[in-house]
Amino acid sequence: MPQPDRHFFDDFFEDYLAECDEHLGTIRAQLLSLEPQIEQSSFTAASLQPLFRALHSLKGLSGMVGVQGAETLAHALESYLRHLRDPEVTLTAAGFEALIHGVTVLDTVLRACQRQTEMPDLAPVLAEIGAVTAPLRSPLSPLLPTVISEAEEQQIQAAQDRGDRLWIVIFTPSSALVEAGITVNRVRDRLSDPGTILAVTPQSSPTQGVTFRFIVAHPQADPPPHWQLAGVEVHPYTAPEPPDRAAAVQEMTAAPIETASSAAIAPTLVRVDLHKLDEVMEQVAELVMSRVQLSSQIQQLRGQVPTATWRHLNGISRTLEQQLRELRTGVLRVRLVPLTDTFKRLEFAARELARTMGKAVQVVVEGDGTELDKVLVDRMIDPLIHLVRNAVSHGIEPVAVRRDRAKPDRATLTLRASTAGERISLEIEEDGGGIDPAVIGARSQALHLAPPSPLTTDSLDPDLLLSVLCTPGFSTQDQPDLTSGRGVGMAIVRTTVQELGGHLSLRSTPGQGTCFRIDLPLTLAITDALIVTVGDRSFAIPQATLRELFPLAPQDRPAPTAPALLPYRDGLLPLVTLHHRFHLPPPPPDRTLVVIVVAVGALTLGLLVDRVVSQSEIVVRPLQDPLVQGSGISGATALGDGTIILILDVASLIHQTLLTPSDRAPAP
Amino acid sequence: MIIVSSAYILFELAETTYGIAAADVQQMEMIDHITPVPNTAPDVEGVVMWRGQVIPVLNLRRRFGLESMAVTLRSRLVIVIHGARRVGVLVDSCREFITLDPESIHPPPAAIGDRILPYLDGVAHLDQRLVFLLNPETIITHHHGSSSETTEI
């Protein structure tokens, strides 16, 4: 347990993390927008304001729930930013890097908190931020407020009430001064005769060593001349509250606009616990099931009750179906969130890694307004970050190599999202070196991971390559490195995608780049499907992948020895006989079958089945157990009569058939 | 092997008595309809809907290399819990619920054979009978790469 008093805050903790997430989103976006200003002078202090405020809120929240790591780190970042508001100070590349690194660790701290795993070591990043902050402290730094006790504050107040002038006296001792007899005790004596020392704080700074900061009250308007000793500076006293005047002024000037806009937005937004939405979704799913049962009962009544009565019943059932569909869409919409934040996070991860690896990367974002179910977004974030980090560390070449290949120094990483029907596709594409199958094959052999079939230089089968990359234990690194893990990453990426009913695919051109594509259902719970039979089994085919269906007479069926292709429109349609695919008895040769044309992206495939039974709304239950995974089945659903049927994983059927050599036309 | 729990559920498989710790069993179910799943290992019987969840069913006879048997009225699904997983284990019949003295449990004899040995935690003597105690984890682990890994490609 990272925080001992966490149990006090359990109720707030979820809220805390959610709120921190929002602030982190703002912080990342704002930080990225600062990048063009590196080494450019003249920041407008106002441009830092949203960043500053988000960090400040995060710090405050973390303090309240006792997440010290986050508080400390946010404070350090805030201190550095505070200096940047000074128009004289420019944002250095090192400074920017420290900010990025700091925010990355801050994210790690919060995630460690959430998962109750071990906290990262803050010392290196704090040192990094300290190193960029420290030079900005002098010579002004002693004037920055330091902590003074309540008793001291009362004394200061009392002295001000007496009408004394207050001074800040800074003494910087050195060995030369000591030889000259000027020690801190001598300074102290001088200051208290005449005068009253109200507070004294030793401070240490990397540039000046130890300094002493006195707050001294004196009745005269000017500091007495005998205070003037070597190594002593005298400044008029400024009150420490509020902690930062500049900030306070900024806050005041910016505040009216901000409150006006937030007042206009806030009351229309409600934050809802995702579990509550899950429960609602589950109830909608049960309603859908009951409706399907009702409908099948009504169908059985046909002919047993007067026709008018039956029509009436059936009409009500139809209306109910329509209403449920709208309810379902409504609930679904509530669960959808735009990918904007996710993409910002990916962009952030990419830039941070590119910077540490000394690579130049430009991030292009397309379709970040695309919406996806919140649960899917949360489950996908780690796999996506992994793919992005892989793209930067393994995909994109070092600048020198890029020059040799006559590519621009700056690589392009594209993050792309788009929807089609009830599916969404996410792509992570870079214009790097591409994947060399020979290297991957050799590596795989060196690691004693038997590849499913030999990889050679002249075969670049993307799915085969992908399955090697996704083998647990596969890694191109001899030593686990910080950037891209220990060879478990890709395996987890693929497993996660499959668990969510999605499909991972790869296309890579040597020398030109690599693109990982993830196809996902927009939401998990309910979808429309076609129920078909294959032999004595029933299967559901998600409507989203369906293009059309047509009967196929026995004489038009390709002979078993011929390539499984059908003339279709202007070309040929690859055909999969599901009986064969699922090791069921072959269809009788004299039966007219049905071809179901399905497509994912540009890939089209015909599935040969016996019969289409019905069209139905189904409640998708994912098949997550390792015992039943990876078999061309994405899940299961219960029909109205309680029997379970399997849902075809159309995307993986298509990819396996069209992109795997073993399923292509017979080998030459 | 330290066995903490001493409550066991006994069941029959090919005239042999097996036991599994009650703590690892969520429920015993009558068998309704098992939906076969293509391209899985031979010992995976299929899936069933159990409390709104689709869970796999493992045929223990096939896993142990015994002759398969049709599902009868006495057949039961033992719902085994392991971490977040729930797996239905198909057995011939369920016998009883007993408490075993930890001292009556011995390591399994190697002579029992490689086919079954990996799945055993121990052997107990109960009156005149031998009871083979199963390890819930190895029972539901998919093994030999005999399923998806090879059929997928």
Residue from the list A537, A582, A627 with its beta carbon closest to the beta carbon of B58:
A627
Number of domains within chain B: 1
Residue A245 clears pLDDT 50, i.e. is over it: no
How confident is the model over A101-123, as a mean pLDDT?
Answer: 85
Higher pLDDT pick, B81 / A66: B81
Q: Which residues of A touch B56 (CB under 8 A)?
A: 623, 625, 627-628
Hey, are the CB atoms on B47 and A636 less than 8 Å from each other?
Answer: yes
Predicted confidence band of residue A449 (pLDDT cuts 50, 70, 90):
low
Mean pLDDT over all residues of chain B? 82
| Rg of chain B (C-alpha set) | 15
Residues spanned by the domain of B68: 7-151
Predicted pLDDT of residue A164: 80
Contact A644 B38 (CB under 8 A): no
Q: B36 to chain A: which residues are within 8 Å by CB? A: 537
Question: For B143, which residue in chain A has the nearest alpha carbon?
Answer: A627
Lowest mean pLDDT, pick from A42-56, A132-146, A498-512: A132-146
**Whether A622 and B140 lie within 8 Å, measured CB to CB:** no
pLDDT per position as a tens digit, A48-79? 888 888 888 888 888 777 788 888 889 888 88
To the nearest whole Å, the CA of B102 is away from the closest chain A CA by: 32
For residue B146, what pLDDT is reported? 40
Q: Does position B50 have pLDDT exceeding 90, yes or no?
A: no
- Three-state DSSP at A607 gives strand
Would you place residue A141 in the very low, low, confident or very high pLDDT band (cuts 50, 70, 90)? Answer: very low
β-strands B129-134, B16-21 pairing: parallel
pLDDT at A452: 47
Out of 3.40.50.720, 3.40.50.300, 3.30.565.10, 3.40.630.10, select the CATH number for domain A339-521. 3.30.565.10
User: Is residue B71 one of the residues assigned to a domain?
Assistant: yes
Average pLDDT (A474-500) is 63
Residue A583 pLDDT exceeds 60: yes
pLDDT at A129: 87
Tokens of A660: 């795997």
pLDDT tens-place string over residues B16-35: 899 998 888 888 888 878 99
Q: B131 by DSSP, 3-state: which?
A: strand
Of all residues in chain B, the one with the smallest CA distance to A285 is B52
Taking only residues 587 to 646 of chain A, the set having a beta carbon closer than 8 angstroms to any beta carbon of chain B reads 621-623, 625-633, 635-636, 638, 642-646
| Residue among B55, B142, B153 whose CB faces A467 most closely | B153
ipTM score assigned to the predicted complex:
0.81
Residues of A in Cβ contact (< 8 Å) with B40: 627-628, 631
More confident residue, A486 or B114: B114
CA dist., res. A33 & res. A250, Å (int): 20
Sign (positive or negative) of CA dihedral A401, A407, A408, A410: negative
Higher pLDDT, B142 or A396: A396
Q: What pLDDT is recorded for position A666?
A: 39
Contact residues, chain B to chain A, C-beta under 8 Å: 32-33, 35-41, 44, 47-49, 52-56, 58, 85, 87, 140, 142, 147-149, 151-153
Look at A364 and A251; give whichever has higher pLDDT: A364
A532: Cβ–Cβ under 8 A, 6 or more apart, which residues? A538, A539, A540, A541, A594, A596, A609, A610, A611, A612, A613
Q: Is the pLDDT of residue A256 over 70?
A: no
Of the pLDDT bands very low, low, confident and very high (cuts 50, 70, 90), residue A596 is very high
Lowest mean pLDDT among A170-179, A251-260, A547-556: A251-260
User: Is residue B52 a part of any domain in this protein?
Assistant: yes
Residue A257's pLDDT is 38
Partner-chain contact A621 B49, CB within 8 Å: yes
Residue A369 reports pLDDT greater than 90: no
CATH of region A526-663: 2.30.30.40
Give me the CATH topology for the region A146-236: Alpha-Beta Plaits (3.30.70)
Instruction: Write down the pLDDT at residue A146.
Output: 52
> In this structure, are residues A499 and A649 in contact, taking their beta carbons and an 8 Å threshold?
no
Nearest to A638 by CA among A328, A222, A289: A289
Neighboring chain B residues of A537 at a CB cutoff of 8 Å: 36
* Three-state secondary structure of A268-308: HCCCCCHHHHHHHHHHHHHHHHHHHHHHHHHHHHCCCCCHH
Is any Cβ of chain B less than 8 angstroms from the Cβ of A420? Answer: no
**B72 within domain boundaries:** yes
CB contact under 8 A, B36 and A537: yes
Mean pLDDT of A100-126: 85
The percent of residues above 70 in pLDDT, for chain A, comes to 81
Residue A515: predicted pLDDT: 93
Residue B59: closest CA among B31, B83, B84: B31
Mean pLDDT of A100-113: 88
Q: With 50 as the cut, is the pLDDT of residue A602 above it? A: yes
**Does residue A287 sit at the B interface (CB-CB below 8 Å)?**
no
Let me know if residue B124 belongs to a domain. Answer: yes
What pLDDT does residue A251 have? Answer: 40
Q: Do A627 and B40 touch (CB under 8 A)?
A: yes
Region B104-124: mean pLDDT is: 84
Q: Do B35 and A628 touch (CB under 8 A)?
A: no
| CATH number, position B104 | 2.40.50.180
pLDDT at A143: 47
Q: What pLDDT, on a 0 to 100 scale, did the predictor assign at position A366?
A: 92
What percentage of chain A has pLDDT greater than the value 90?
A: 13
* A644–B49 C-beta distance less than 8 A: yes
Q: Averaged over A357-377, what is the pLDDT?
A: 87
> What is the per-residue pLDDT for A187?
81
* Higher per-residue confidence, A466 vs B23: B23
Average pLDDT over residues A560-566: 82
Closest CA to A99 of A117, A82, A119: A82
For A8, phi then psi, to 5°, come to -60, -30
A209 band by pLDDT with thresholds 50, 70 and 90: low
- Both tokens of residue A476? 């191109």
**Looking at A247-251, A344-348, A495-499, which range is the least confident one?**
A247-251
Confidence at residue A500, expressed as pLDDT on a 0 to 100 scale: 75
Burial of A159 (0-12, 13-18, 19+ CB in 10 A): buried
Check whether A486 has a pLDDT greater than 60.
Answer: no
Q: Is the dihedral of CA B13, B15, B21, B23 positive or negative?
A: positive
> Is pLDDT at B87 greater than 90 in this prediction?
yes
> For residue range A375-413, what is the model confidence (pLDDT) as tens digits?
788 888 888 998 999 899 888 999 999 999 889 999 999
Confidence at residue A250, expressed as pLDDT on a 0 to 100 scale: 42
The reported pLDDT for the residue numbered A260 is 38
Q: Which of A524, A537, A625 to mutate to test the interface with B (most CBs of B within 10 A)?
A: A625
The answer to whether A63 and A75 have CB atoms below 8 angstroms apart is no
Distance CA A515, CA A601 (A): 14
Could you tell me which residue, A235 or B58, shows the higher pLDDT? B58
A523 pLDDT band (50/70/90 cuts)? low
Of residues B132 and A153, more confidently modeled: B132
**Overall average pLDDT of the A476-489 stretch:** 51
A225-234, A257-266, A453-462, range with greatest mean pLDDT: A225-234
Tell me the chain B residues in contact with residue A453 when contact means C-beta distances shorter than 8 Å: 153
Candidates B148, B149, B151, partner chain A, best to mutate (most A CBs within 10 A) = B148
Mean pLDDT of all residues belonging to chain A: 78
Contacts of A636 in chain B (CB under 8 A): 35, 47, 49, 54
Q: What is the pLDDT of residue A62?
A: 85
pLDDT of residue B80: 93
Least confident window among A126-130, A142-146, A393-397:
A142-146
A638 neighbourhood in chain B, CB within 8 Å: 49
Whether B99 maps to a domain, the answer reads yes
Gap from A455 CA to chain B (nearest CA, Å)? 14
- Homologous superfamily of domain range A6-137: HPT domain (1.20.120.160)
Nearest to A437 by CA among A413, A463, A411: A463
8 Å CB contact of B38 and A645: no
Q: Considering only residues A420 and B149, tell me which one the structure prediction assigns the higher pLDDT.
A: A420
**pLDDT of residue A261 exceeding 80:** no
Average pLDDT over residues A90-115: 86
Q: pLDDT value at position A316?
A: 92
What kind and span of H or E run contains A614? strand A611-619
Which of B47, B49, B142 has its CB closest to that of A626? B142
In this predicted structure, what is the pLDDT of residue A244?
A: 45
Query: How many CB atoms neighbour CB A417 within 10 A?
Result: 22
Angle ∠(A640,A645,A647) on CA atoms, nearest 5: 120
> How large is the average pLDDT for residues A250-273?
49
**Which residues in chain B are closer than 8 Å to A626, comparing Cβ atoms?**
142, 148
